[in-house]
Amino acid sequence: MAKPKLIKERVPTPERPVEERVKSFVEVNLGYDFASALKEAERCIQCPPEYAPCIKGCPVHINIPGFLKALRENADNPDEAVKNALRVIWNDNTLPAVTGRVCPQEDQCEAPCVMGKVGDPINIGKLERFVADYARERGIDQELLKEFIAETDGKGRVAVVGAGPAGLTCALELAKMGYKVTIFEALHEAGGVLMYGIPEFRLPKDILKTELEKLEKLGVEVKTNYIVGKTVTVEELLQEYDAVFIGTGAGTPKLLNIPGILLDRIYSANEFLTRVNLMKAYLFPEYDTPIAVGKKVIVIGAGNTAMDAARSALRLGAEVTIAYRRGREDMTARVEEIGHAEEEGVKFEFFLTPVEFIGDENGKVKAVKFEKMRPLEERDRRGKRKIVGTGEYVTIEADTVIIAIGLEPNKILVEASGFKANPDGTLIVDENLMTSIPGVFAGGDAIRGEATVILAMGDGKKAAKAIDEYIKDKKANA
């Protein structure tokens, strides 16, 4: 038999043209259709699951060769193929339309892909997204959902704090096992950072909302407008529930401790993105929440949040510059997001550290003063080149500034509940993700400080398993 020929190049996914997308918040990437998805899936050499490096690279260990195989096996029946593929994905990850869009696949499942050694790695992220989207559009997901509805008879009750990636995953996994789960969410909508932080052009809210509808169908109750630590305490939750999972994320923005930080039109990325994404300020005054953005915006930082803020500001009609204190190679944003930002006309300035915000006579920002930085050969513990100030300064005009230099955990809950925490506010957990309070587990940015959606989901899933064990033990010993 002839050896199958390796196809080195990826089947590309179409994208909305730049001139069209910079004017609106519609999604940039258009995704695969069945034929092109199949062609891409056929490039996979099908490493056996026990060895497959992609599965190991995925924080929630989706059976990637398995779902690609399912697609290939029913090439002549797309609906059946997608249903089988989705079943495989859902076993490990119930939010594939989200992860297929926002995961840094290039650093995770796609990084160790064997095909990557000879050509392009399999486009796993876009394939995952295709399966989720196709299933949703055809109602296949609704049909499949019935298979995942579990009997909840007397297994136990779990409270989940925070409806972001960690909490949602934990809740959905526990619901699939048959637990009765209640999510407590501080905002008026579930989704956490997926809702307030990630713009429509990367993760359309309608798609997110369809993913969230699974909660109700799997019997998970969501109590919005509940601020755990204020509305209800963790202690009270423990009286009513067998276990508690904390997935409160890292909600507090780091601000720059430099002169002028209180000037008008200096936003934290969180405020800017919350106004735009969650409150739809880009549709003001049809929606009531305003956003004041000028003509020249400087975004400080170089992570995905900085890219999201920059591209959102661009869509609000501004000229946008991203200023980063390190060099291009040290930017932490996904390559795809940096590429999109560049294509759309975001400018980049490197080796600049802000030292002062300069205001006008009305207290509104008008410029940012930066110190020029110089890279050294020496590297820090993350492998990035160290930088030093040069003593030279440059001032760049700006009528709006967005600070996207990171987040730290919100202290409301830690302070109210007496958890053992690190100095940065992250909760201390054991190897089973249990906090210093027995029966209370935690995951995601609440323990990591600042990470990715998929790592939070990985924690949610791991915690769900640990909670299952914990409750079973507790009931057995009762």
The contact set with another protein (CB under 8 A) reads 186-188, 196, 223-227, 230-232, 251-253, 255, 257, 261-262, 264-265, 267-268, 270-271, 274-275, 279-280, 284-292, 363, 410-412
Q: Shortest gap between Cβ of 356 and another protein (angstroms)?
A: 16
Distance CA 466, CA 445 (A): 18
* Burial class for 233, CB neighbours closer than 10 Å (0-12, 13-18, 19+): middle
Question: In terms of CB distance, is 265 or 325 closer to another protein?
Answer: 265
- Bridge partners of 469, per DSSP, are none
Question: In terms of CB distance, is 186 or 434 closer to another protein?
Answer: 186
Question: In terms of CB distance, is 114 or 238 closer to another protein?
Answer: 238
Question: In terms of CB distance, is 288 or 392 closer to another protein?
Answer: 288
Cα 28 to its chain centre, rounded Å, is 17
Q: Shortest gap between Cβ of 360 and another protein (angstroms)?
A: 12
Question: In terms of CB distance, is 70 or 453 closer to another protein?
Answer: 453
Question: In terms of CB distance, is 64 or 309 closer to another protein?
Answer: 309
Cα 421 to its chain centre, rounded Å, is 23
Please tell me what DSSP assigns to residue 5: P
Question: In terms of CB distance, is 59 or 197 closer to another protein?
Answer: 197
Q: Shortest gap between Cβ of 327 and another protein (angstroms)?
A: 28
Distance CA 135, CA 34 (A): 11
Question: What is the residue-wise DSSP string for 389-452?
Answer: EEEEEEEEE-SEEEE-S-EE--HHHHHHHT--B-TTSPBP--TT-B-SSTTEEE-THHHHSS--
Distance CA 264, CA 290 (A): 14
Name the token pair of 396: 């760049």
Q: Shortest gap between Cβ of 338 and another protein (angstroms)?
A: 25
Across 368-386, b (16+ Cβ under 10 Å) vs e yields bbbbbbebeeeeeeeeeee
Q: Shortest gap between Cβ of 100 and another protein (angstroms)?
A: 27
Question: In terms of CB distance, is 192 or 460 closer to another protein?
Answer: 192
Q: Shortest gap between Cβ of 407 and another protein (angstroms)?
A: 9
Left, alpha or beta for 401 (phi > 0: left; psi -120 to 50: alpha)?
beta
- Bridge partners of 61, per DSSP, are none
CB atoms within 10 A of CB 204: 17
Q: Shortest gap between Cβ of 320 and another protein (angstroms)?
A: 20
Q: Shortest gap between Cβ of 273 and another protein (angstroms)?
A: 9
Question: In terms of CB distance, is 281 or 451 closer to another protein?
Answer: 281
CB atoms within 10 A of CB 327: 15
- Bridge partners of 371, per DSSP, are 353, 393
Q: Shortest gap between Cβ of 353 and another protein (angstroms)?
A: 19
Distance CA 437, CA 409 (A): 18
Contact 123, 336 (CB under 8 A): no
Q: Shortest gap between Cβ of 280 and another protein (angstroms)?
A: 8
Positions of E strands within 97-171: 157-161
CA–CA–CA angle 124, 103, 220 (5° rounding): 105
Question: In terms of CB distance, is 278 or 387 closer to another protein?
Answer: 278
